[in-house]
């Protein structure tokens, strides 16, 4: 707003600009704030790659030697938990394989002492979210769909966000692997007519 | 279900006190387990280490054994909810070193076992080596997969952090206790046992149903010469029945009653549906004859039940004709009934019997009825009904509340009636009882006390008994025991009697121990441990064997062989005993037999179990002692066992303390029940504190005004007022055992002349229900059988305009493409016993809130039993209605939640999403059934230390500030779904049993898929008796109730209004 | 500078073609325009009086108690309050509705009376608007803090795109509240601030102290009093008045939906919206009277807040009181006439059940006591109106208590009937709310012009005669 005889720079103009600046600043903070809540999802540890007590390499075992995931994570087909193998599973091979490696020696020692290996947990859902491995495997979801290119990882990291929106994308049929849709949910259809997995709250929360 | 028994079988000798699957060698010595840190590690296999949770729990100053799985992240997410973008704490995964074959993390194993108290068959649900729930063993012919509230809550005792954890030595003079090692106490005990003279050792224990234990104790005592006896004592023993049987028929047995063929039942002070030891079986039998099918309403038949009782019991509440009497009047009523039947109506073969006539003559029905104050017609009706159904009727008496000084005489008259009515050998089976056993009555203890006073007892071993609490002081146990050289108590808990003992040895919990049980001829069940002992405990039987072995005491028979063998554990003893005594009945290879029995949990001997009974002949001489009729007056007191507390041995169990009494709905206290008439007369109002005096003993106790009690009757529950029980149980309620009177060789709990007076004090009882009539609202239906026959839908409040199907609605109707879950509850079968309440509590991680929170109605139970009275306050009709989330189709809660934390899913259930809930409580305000429960505090924190191991890993533990409610056991639905889907199949009817349905003794609750027209539940929904609570609100619940039908004469369904007891 | 205020008078007159009737009534005691500035600015420019400090101290202490209580239950759980299973809501919601109600008078006075050219409003509208805003702030603390997990409720109640891909429940009246009260607060705040600008400028120009000059320079947004300024000001003020008028009706209508939309007997009633709005204005005006009576004594503004102003207020109080009384009667009639068993029960239970005392307190304070204003002497007696206004405030608080507590404690299933007793924490929280309100209000009278100088001048003889 300029005054009729507004040749001189009136104090009001400055103070008004000040005001405008302040307002803009406030607005910016608010918008960034809201964005931030979504930009840094509080339940996602994506990229988390902690050091493990023994530097077990999936790249070597799963990638190079092509050992089937279920050889070690056997309960994944049967149970909710994929599970970390008990030491005796490692020893099946390492009684004889690579026994000269200091790590394997550590492993063997722990095994003989009956001392469990305390692995650092990477993939972790909140307790109020029940994820059932067996269902997803039976439905044809590959391990990599959620765990990323695990066979290329020397040190395992959390490849996916594992937050709710990420789950929903798949269950709503947006990012679902096609084989899964065809094979396993003939009866469930979304408005667009292609099949989806259940999105009831109690599918996961109970 | 995967039953696995082989690991049990191949136990290493010393491993009874170590985990079945060891992960570290040092675990094999029991001291390792004394260190709670190690136990914690053990509990932790395959769970993450909850930095949060441990911190939380440490803050609560509970030691060790923090539960791992969900609390962790619950804590974490709470924290993160608070400070967004907080980095998650590092959690560890600690796998097995050698994973046991049968353990699959995340999948429960079920092991069959049995309850050493009652012999009921158990299924123990075990997750990663830790029992989390007790259910009934469906293969067990006695309890058939059902458990009572008390039996289910035993799991909580297992994890009670206040359990005895090490051997203690007590200085009897000062009562000072100090921890000892097993070696020391064993040495001391063995020395004393050796020193004890001939015949100077006694074992005093609760009644035992275990043949192996009986044999072991017998053999142990044989080492100390004749006179060394085993004394059994149970405060709640039904010894009067046993004694009556002996006098009437010659054999001291506890007969088995066949309610499933009893078309007319007369109960004279017998609470066979509630507090009797086998109430679960009897309730399910009794209910079989109460089931109705509306399609065949014209020809519907239903049993008729008469109750004469001095207080309102579950049995009376469920009977068709209930007559309030004074405590101690039971004998008179029985005789009057016999008089009516045999003399007045001249029926039965005893009509001419002189002895019988002599006994009955003076008990004229009119006179007795007039004295007690009821209409003599009811006696005639009862007599007619019984006679009409002779051979298929039943008269029962017995139980604490009818245990007056004439209790045995009462039994004899009842036996006379059953014989006269030809029920003997039909509905009364004197042969089904296992071998005759000592009656566990007072006589034995009385003699023991005398012997102790005479100084003829050197060593006294106490096991599973608490005489210092449950015997009246006048019995003089405390004084007598002072004269005993060494008193050894083997107990799970530190209790009143521990203070009188020299050595207190921590006993295994039943779930940590081996054993067996025989409560029927031909039915022998096995008890097997389902987890390694949590503490440095040792079973009573192992102690005996250890002493025999160490002391070379020269016990006879098997005990000697086992004790001196390389493998000398109680487990080996049980196996050996089975090999000798049970296996011969089966044949085949023993290994196979043993593994089968272990898997099934029970061995049933074909042809013997449930064989047809043979009638025994009644001896009229038994009536000789019957007194002549004499009118009495004055207020009489009955002591009774409450459903929750029984004799008070479990008073440290928080679930049971907070279990609402089915009749009074009072929790956390006992009280003196006073009838409305008497209360009016004495000017009592609810929650006044009264002074009750019996003889010299007296006590102050709050008043509960109980409709349906006689004008001269008082009733108080025993088992409260424990002085030494633990954080939970100590000082809850008032101890009334001191009021018990000694009558010769037995104890009189009832018919005690009492004075009651006001104290002017006030004490608010923690009731869960404050208003007891329905105010004629469309909540429940009840009709008479006659009305039902005319029109099964007679009482349905359902407004035809509000039929679920065709009401116009502003909402678009929900679509249920796949399943639609629903439930049907038969009010005619529900006895209100409350087993479902505890079943639900165990399954769904429902915490306790404590007395004060119950007082201001904050209890958390997801399912509650509403109890309504109708008719007159003096003699009301009673209806029980299990009330839980109705999973409405038009759910009022769903529309008002601002954050969509409660929503309808596509299978018809109403979901509560804990993690989304912010706790506005609007949903609860808008719920017409008020079945939603709000966490006003972090109630889960009431589970201390080891108690956290009882949480069900499949159900989230709820934090403060959020709403919760019945989920239709969604976790069970999900499990069934996954199991089927993994096989590419659909869920079929019967796959899913909700926790409440699973344990309901009378099968009143049915859950299933309403979309499947063949499912039981949809058939029941279609039944003409089906109605929905408050249907007029058009909430369209997924739960249908089936009207209650009373088999009594008289007009339309009682109205449920009435002003009394508002 | 000194001339500027006088121009204000002119320009106002130019816009509002009013023949200044009863001007002698509106400003008493031959005040000059300078006097107006002097009188109104005095509290701002002088060091606060001991009276002010005393009041402020008390208010601050009350606020402290509230803060303590809130911290306790946010840390330990709502269990410390008296809430229970049937009574999911208690004093928390009572206070919320009460304060929102208080908030009504402000906008009514400033907006509606402005549109109706009720000149007498000029003396009181400023403080009435301030009261509105502070009352709404106070009210807002309750629904937020009474939730079980306020740290989540704070933002989960807002519809914003999030990683959960979840939205709020637009069917829930609680959500409508968030929008309704939010809007009401925003508009009232802007309205109030715009109204302040000319006076802020006057203060700026009078300011001797530099800091004050700076602050008021920023606040007055470069107001120069030019005709253009006035033109924009007038239209803005007019538009905002138009905007806020419907809000006066909408806010409490929607707040009443919290109850009316639920199916609980005693809540589920179509009469609620009008009944709540009337009640809100009723309590709002009572609160204004309470405050004005104190203010004109404390700051010697008798000349501006005249007896005529107060009498007009009292007339409105009596009128709305009658409406509320009618609503009470109507509820009972409908309960009987509808024949609904639950409805019947709940209202009988209200009057004669365990909460009879609350019900009769409400009826007497709201329906009967205001009747004294039939007498002119009463309408014009300071002590009388002060006492009546206090009673009305109490009565209206109890009205909400009756609605919330008695309806909940005995609903459909007798088995779940209970009773609600507030604990000391509930009362502490209530006290804290009053503390918060008065702290804000006292700061306002200390720091801002409590009377719209510009507008007052417009209704003064001098202002009138400029042409």
Distance from CA of B887 to the nearest CA of C (A): 16
Structure-model confidence comparison of residues B740 and A181, the more confident one: B740
A188 CB contacts (<8 Å, ≥6 apart)?
A: A195, A196, A197, A198, B817, B818
The rounded distance, in Å, linking the Cα atoms of B387 and A4 is: 115
Structure-model confidence comparison of residues C230 and C30, the more confident one: C230
With beta carbons under 8 A apart, name residues in chain A contacting B23: 114, 116
- Assess contact for B123 and B603: CB atoms under 8 A: no
Q: Is B2 on the interface with A (CB under 8 A)?
A: no
- Assess contact for C417 and B856: CB atoms under 8 A: no
Nearest CB to B773: which of C77, C152, C414? C414
Cβ density class A7-20: b for 16+ within 10 Å, e for less: eeebebeebbeeee
Q: Is B200 on the interface with C (CB under 8 A)?
A: no
C1 CB contacts (<8 Å, ≥6 apart)?
A: C205
- Assess contact for C256 and C273: CB atoms under 8 A: yes
Query: What is the per-residue pLDDT across C272-288, written as a single tens digit (0 to 9) for each?
Result: 999 999 999 899 889 88
The rounded distance, in Å, linking the Cα atoms of C400 and C355 is: 13
Per-residue pLDDT band at B251 (split at 50, 70, 90):
confident
Q: Left, alpha or beta for B175 (phi > 0: left; psi -120 to 50: alpha)?
A: left
Instruction: Determine which of A9, A15, A36, A129 to mutate to test the interface with C (most C C-beta atoms within 10 Å).
Output: A15
The chain C residue lying nearest A14, using CA atoms, is C222
Query: What is the per-residue pLDDT across C235-253, written as a single tens digit (0 to 9) for each?
Result: 998 888 888 888 888 888 9
For the residues A81-90, what does the mean pLDDT come to?
89
The chain B residue lying nearest A51, using CA atoms, is B90
Q: What's the complex ipTM?
A: 0.86
What does each C-alpha distance from C103 to B341, C131, C275 come to in angstroms?
Answer: 81, 7, 16
The answer, yes or no, to whether residue B213 has pLDDT greater than 50, is yes
Q: Is B910 on the interface with A (CB under 8 A)?
A: no
- Assess contact for B274 and B662: CB atoms under 8 A: yes
The rounded distance, in Å, linking the Cα atoms of C112 and C106 is: 10
Query: What is the per-residue pLDDT across C53-73, written as a single tens digit (0 to 9) for each?
Result: 898 999 999 999 999 999 999
The chain A residue lying nearest B99, using CA atoms, is A86
The answer, yes or no, to whether residue B64 has pLDDT greater than 60, is no
Chain C stretch 369-408, residues whose beta carbon is closer than 8 A to a beta carbon of chain B: 408
Instruction: Determine which of C259, C412, C422 to mutate to test the interface with B (most B C-beta atoms within 10 Å).
Output: C412
CA atoms within a 13 Å half-sphere pointing along the CA-CB vector of B447: 15
With beta carbons under 8 A apart, name residues in chain A contacting C159: none
Query: What is the per-residue pLDDT across B691-714, written as a single tens digit (0 to 9) for each?
Result: 999 988 999 999 999 999 999 999
Distance from CA of A38 to the nearest CA of C (A): 6
Report pLDDT for B182: 92
Closest CA to B573 of B515, B658, B622: B515
The rounded distance, in Å, linking the Cα atoms of C271 and C275 is: 6
Per-residue pLDDT band at B5 (split at 50, 70, 90):
very low
Interchain pair A187, B72: CB under 8 A: no
**What's the burial of B431, exposed, middle or buried (CB within 10 Å: 0-12/13-18/19+)?**
middle
Query: What is the per-residue pLDDT across B853-910, written as a single tens digit (0 to 9) for each?
Result: 999 999 999 999 999 999 888 889 999 999 999 999 889 999 999 999 999 988 999 9
What does each C-alpha distance from B598 to B1, B16, B156, B330, B512 come to in angstroms?
Answer: 14, 17, 24, 44, 15
Average pLDDT, chain C: 84
Length of chain A: 206
The rounded distance, in Å, linking the Cα atoms of B622 and B603 is: 37
The rounded distance, in Å, linking the Cα atoms of B469 and B478 is: 10
Per-residue pLDDT band at B70 (split at 50, 70, 90):
very low
Tokens 């209910």 found at:
B287
Tokens 């405030």 found at:
C393
**What's the burial of B296, exposed, middle or buried (CB within 10 Å: 0-12/13-18/19+)?**
exposed
- Assess contact for B267 and B319: CB atoms under 8 A: yes
The rounded distance, in Å, linking the Cα atoms of C199 and C44 is: 12
With beta carbons under 8 A apart, name residues in chain A contacting B105: 75, 79, 81, 83
The rounded distance, in Å, linking the Cα atoms of C196 and C190 is: 10
Chain C stretch 68-97, residues whose beta carbon is closer than 8 A to a beta carbon of chain B: 76-79, 82-86, 88-89
Report pLDDT for B86: 40
Distance from CA of A54 to the nearest CA of B (A): 13
Interchain pair C77, B933: CB under 8 A: no
With beta carbons under 8 A apart, name residues in chain A contacting C229: 1
What does each C-alpha distance from B233 to B461, B488, B837 come to in angstroms?
Answer: 13, 16, 30
Query: What is the per-residue pLDDT across B185-196, written as a single tens digit (0 to 9) for each?
Result: 999 999 999 888
Interchain pair A126, B915: CB under 8 A: yes
> B486-491 and B503-506: which strand pairing?
parallel
List the single range of B315-329, B597-611, B617-631 with lowest mean pLDDT.
B597-611
Query: What is the per-residue pLDDT across A20-63, written as a single tens digit (0 to 9) for each?
Result: 888 888 888 877 776 665 555 455 678 888 889 999 999 999 99
């Amino acid at each position: 707003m300029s005054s009729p005889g507004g040749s001189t720079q009136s104090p009001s103009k400055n103070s008004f600009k000040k005001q405008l600046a302040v307002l803009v600043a406030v607005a910016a903070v608010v918008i960034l704030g809201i964005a931030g809540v979504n930009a840094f999802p509080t339940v996602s540890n994506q990229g988390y790659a902690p050091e493990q007590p023994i530097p077990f390499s999936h790249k070597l075992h799963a990638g190079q030697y092509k050992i089937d995931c279920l050889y070690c994570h056997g309960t994944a087909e049967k149970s909710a938990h994929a599970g970390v193998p008990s030491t005796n599973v490692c020893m099946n091979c390492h009684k004889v394989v690579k026994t000269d490696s200091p790590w394997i020696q550590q492993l063997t020692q722990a095994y003989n002492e009956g001392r469990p290996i305390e692995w650092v947990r990477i993939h972790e859902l909140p307790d109020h979210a029940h994820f059932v491995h067996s269902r997803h495997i039976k439905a044809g979801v590959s391990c990599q769909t959620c765990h990323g290119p695990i066979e290329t990882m020397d040190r395992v990291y959390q490849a996916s966000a594992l937050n709710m929106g990420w789950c929903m994308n798949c269950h709503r049929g947006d990012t679902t692997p096609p084989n899964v849709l065809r094979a396993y949910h003939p009866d469930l259809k979304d408005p667009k007519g292609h099949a989806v997995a259940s999105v009831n709250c109690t599918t996961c929360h109970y | 279900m995967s039953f696995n028994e082989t690991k049990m079988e191949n136990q290493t000798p010393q491993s009874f006190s170590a985990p079945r699957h060891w992960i570290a060698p040092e675990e094999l010595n029991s001291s390792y387990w004394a260190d709670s840190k190690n136990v914690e590690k053990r509990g932790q296999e395959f769970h993450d280490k909850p930095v949060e949770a441990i911190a939380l729990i440490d803050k609560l100053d509970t030691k060790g054994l923090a539960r791992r799985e969900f609390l962790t992240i619950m804590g974490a997410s709470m924290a993160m909810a608070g400070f967004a973008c907080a980095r998650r704490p590092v959690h560890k995964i600690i796998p097995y070193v050698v994973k046991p074959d049968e353990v699959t993390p995340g999948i429960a194993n079920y092991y069959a076992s049995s309850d050493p108290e009652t012999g009921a068959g158990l299924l123990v649900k075990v997750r990663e080596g830790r029992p989390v729930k007790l259910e009934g063993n469906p293969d067990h012919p006695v309890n058939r997969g059902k458990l009572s509230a008390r039996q289910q809550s035993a799991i909580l005792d297992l994890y009670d952090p206040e359990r005895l954890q090490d051997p203690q030595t007590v200085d009897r003079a000062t009562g000072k206790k100090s921890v000892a090692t097993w070696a020391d106490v064993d040495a001391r005990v063995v020395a004393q046992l050796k020193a004890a003279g001939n015949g100077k050792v006694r074992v005093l224990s609760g009644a035992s149903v275990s043949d192996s234990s009986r044999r072991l104790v017998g053999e142990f005592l044989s080492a100390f010469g004749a006179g060394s006896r085993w004394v059994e004592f149970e405060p709640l023993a039904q010894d009067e029945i046993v004694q009556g049987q002996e006098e009437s028929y010659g054999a001291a047995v506890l007969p088995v009653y066949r309610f499933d063929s009893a078309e007319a039942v007369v109960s004279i002070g017998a609470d066979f549906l509630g507090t009797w030891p086998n109430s679960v079986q009897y309730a399910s039998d009794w209910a079989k004859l109460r089931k109705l099918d509306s399609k065949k309403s014209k020809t519907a038949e239903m049993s008729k039940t008469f109750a004469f009782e001095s207080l309102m019991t579950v049995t009376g509440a469920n009977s068709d004709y209930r007559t309030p009497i004074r405590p101690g009047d039971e004998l008179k009523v029985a005789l009057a009934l016999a008089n009516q039947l045999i003399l007045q109506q001249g029926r039965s073969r005893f009509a001419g019997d002189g002895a019988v006539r002599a006994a009955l003559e003076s008990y004229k029905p009119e006179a007795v009825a007039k004295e007690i104050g009821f209409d003599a017609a009811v006696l005639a009706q009862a007599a007619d009904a019984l006679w009409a159904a002779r051979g298929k009727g039943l008269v029962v008496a017995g139980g604490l509340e009818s245990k007056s000084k004439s209790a045995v005489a009462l039994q004899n008259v009842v036996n006379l009636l059953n014989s006269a009515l030809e029920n003997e050998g039909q509905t009364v089976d004197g042969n089904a009882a296992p071998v005759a056993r000592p009656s566990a009555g007072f006589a034995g203890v009385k003699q023991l006390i005398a012997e102790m006073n005479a100084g003829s007892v050197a060593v006294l071993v106490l096991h599973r008994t608490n005489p210092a609490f449950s015997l009246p002081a006048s019995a003089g146990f405390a004084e007598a025991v002072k004269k005993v050289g060494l008193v050894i108590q083997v107990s799970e808990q530190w209790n009143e009697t521990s203070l009188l003992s020299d050595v207190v040895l921590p006993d295994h919990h039943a779930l940590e121990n081996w054993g067996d049980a025989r409560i029927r001829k031909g039915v022998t069940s096995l008890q097997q441990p389902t987890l390694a002992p949590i503490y440095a405990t040792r079973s009573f039987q192992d102690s005996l064997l250890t002493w025999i072995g160490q002391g070379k005491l020269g016990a006879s028979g098997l005990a000697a062989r086992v004790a001196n063998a390389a493998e000398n554990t109680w487990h080996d003893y049980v196996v050996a005993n089975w090999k000798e005594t049970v296996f011969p009945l089966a044949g085949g290879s023993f290994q196979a037999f043993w593994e089968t029995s272990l898997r099934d949990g029970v061995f049933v001997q074909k042809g013997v179990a449930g064989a047809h009974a043979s009638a025994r002949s009644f001896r009229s001489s038994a009536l000789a002692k019957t007194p002549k009729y004499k009118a009495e007056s004055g207020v009489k007191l009955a002591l009774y066992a409450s459903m929750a507390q029984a004799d008070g041995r479990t008073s440290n169990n928080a679930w049971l303390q907070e279990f609402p009494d089915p009749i009074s709905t009072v929790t956390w206290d006992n009280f003196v029940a006073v009838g409305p008439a008497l209360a009016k007369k004495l000017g009592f109002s609810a929650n006044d504190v009264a002074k009750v005096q019996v003889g010299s003993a007296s006590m102050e106790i709050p008043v509960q005004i109980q409709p349906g009690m006689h004008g001269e009757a008082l009733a108080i529950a025993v088992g409260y007022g424990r002085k030494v029980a633990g954080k939970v149980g100590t000082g809850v309620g008032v101890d009334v055992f001191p009021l018990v009177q000694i009558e010769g060789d037995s104890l009189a709990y009832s018919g005690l002349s009492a004075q009651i007076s006001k104290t002017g004090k006030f004490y608010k009882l923690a009731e869960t229900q404050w208003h007891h009539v329905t105010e004629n609202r469309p909540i429940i239906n009840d009709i008479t059988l006659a009305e039902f026959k005319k029109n099964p839908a007679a009482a349905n409040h359902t407004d035809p305009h509000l039929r679920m199907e065709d009401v116009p609605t502003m909402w678009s109707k929900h679509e249920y493409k796949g399943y639609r879950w629903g439930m049907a509850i038969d009010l005619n079968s529900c006895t209100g016993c409350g087993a479902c309440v505890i079943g639900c509590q165990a399954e769904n991680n429902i915490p306790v809130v404590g007395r004060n929170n119950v007082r201001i109605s904050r209890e958390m139970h997801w399912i509650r039993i509403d109890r309504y009275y109708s008719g007159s306050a003096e003699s009301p009709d009673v209806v029980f209605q299990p009330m839980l989330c109705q999973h409405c189709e038009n759910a009022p809660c769903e529309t008002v939640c601002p954050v969509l934390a409660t929503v309808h899913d596509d299978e018809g259930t109403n979901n509560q999403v804990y993690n989304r809930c912010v706790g506005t409580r609007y949903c609860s305000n808008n719920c017409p059934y008020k079945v939603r429960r709000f966490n006003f505090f972090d109630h889960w924190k009431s589970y201390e230390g080891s108690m956290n191991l009882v949480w069900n890993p499949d159900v989230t533990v709820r934090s403060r500030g959020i709403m919760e409610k019945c989920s239709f056991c969604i976790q069970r639905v999900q499990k069934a779904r996954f199991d089927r889907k993994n096989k590419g199949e659909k869920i079929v009817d019967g796959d899913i049993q909700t926790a409440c349905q699973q344990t309901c003794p009378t099968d009143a609750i049915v859950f299933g898929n309403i979309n499947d027209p063949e499912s039981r539940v949809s058939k029941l929904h279609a039944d003409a008796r089906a109605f929905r609570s408050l249907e007029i609100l058009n909430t369209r619940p997924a739960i249908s109730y089936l009207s209650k039908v009373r088999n009594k004469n008289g007009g339309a369904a009682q109205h449920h209004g009435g002003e009394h007891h508002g | 500078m000194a001339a500027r205020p006088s121009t204000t008078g002119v320009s106002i007159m130019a816009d509002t073609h009013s023949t200044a009737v009863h001007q002698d009534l509106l400003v008493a005691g031959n005040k000059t325009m300078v006097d107006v500035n002097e009188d109104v600015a005095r509290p701002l420019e002088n060091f606060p009086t001991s009276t002010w400090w005393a009041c402020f101290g008390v208010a601050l202490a009350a606020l402290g108690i509230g803060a303590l209580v809130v911290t306790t239950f946010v840390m330990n759980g709502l269990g410390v309050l008296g809430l229970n299973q049937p009574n999911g809501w208690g004093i928390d919601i009572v206070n919320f509705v009460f304060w929102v109600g208080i908030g009504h008078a402000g906008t009514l006075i400033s907006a509606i009376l402005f549109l109706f050219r009720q000149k007498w409003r000029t003396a009181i509208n400023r403080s009435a608007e301030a009261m509105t805003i502070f009352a709404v702030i106070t009210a807002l603390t309750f629904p937020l803090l009474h939730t079980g997990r306020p740290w989540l409720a704070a933002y989960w109640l807002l519809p914003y795109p999030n990683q959960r891909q979840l939205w709020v429940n637009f069917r829930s009246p609680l959500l409508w509240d968030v929008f309704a009260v939010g809007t009401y607060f925003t508009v009232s705040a802007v309205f109030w601030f715009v109204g302040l600008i000319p006076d802020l400028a006057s203060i700026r120009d009078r300011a001797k102290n530099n800091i004050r000059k700076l602050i008021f320079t920023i606040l007055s947004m470069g107001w120069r009093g030019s005709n253009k300024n006035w033109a924009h000001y007038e239209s803005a003020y007019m538009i905002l008045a138009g905007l806020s008028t419907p809000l006066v009706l909408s806010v409490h209508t929607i707040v009443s939906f919290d109850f009316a939309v639920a199916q609980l007997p005693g809540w589920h009633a179509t009469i609620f919206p009008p009944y709540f709005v009337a009640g809100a204005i009723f309590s709002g005006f009572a609160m204004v009277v309470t405050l004005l009576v104190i203010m004109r004594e404390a700051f010697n503004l008798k000349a501006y807040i005249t007896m005529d102003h107060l009498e007009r207020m009292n007339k409105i109080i009596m009128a709305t009181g009658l409406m509320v009384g009618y609503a009470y009667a109507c509820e009972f009639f409908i309960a009987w006439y509808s024949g609904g068993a639950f409805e019947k029960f709940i209202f009988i239970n209200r009057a004669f059940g365990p909460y009879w005392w609350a019900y009769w307190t409400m009826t007497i304070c709201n329906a009967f006591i205001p009747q004294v204003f039939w007498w002119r002497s009463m309408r014009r007696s300071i002590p009388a109106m002060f006492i009546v206004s206090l009673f009305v405030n109490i009565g209206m608080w109890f009205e909400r208590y009756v609605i919330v507590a008695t309806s909940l404690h005995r609903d459909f299933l007798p088995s779940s009937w209970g009773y609600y007793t507030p604990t000391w924490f509930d009362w502490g929280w209530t006290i804290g709310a009053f503390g918060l309100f008065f702290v804000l209000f006292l700061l306002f009278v200390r720091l801002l012009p409590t009377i719209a100088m510009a507008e007052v001048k417009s209704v003064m003889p001098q202002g009138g005669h400029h042409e």
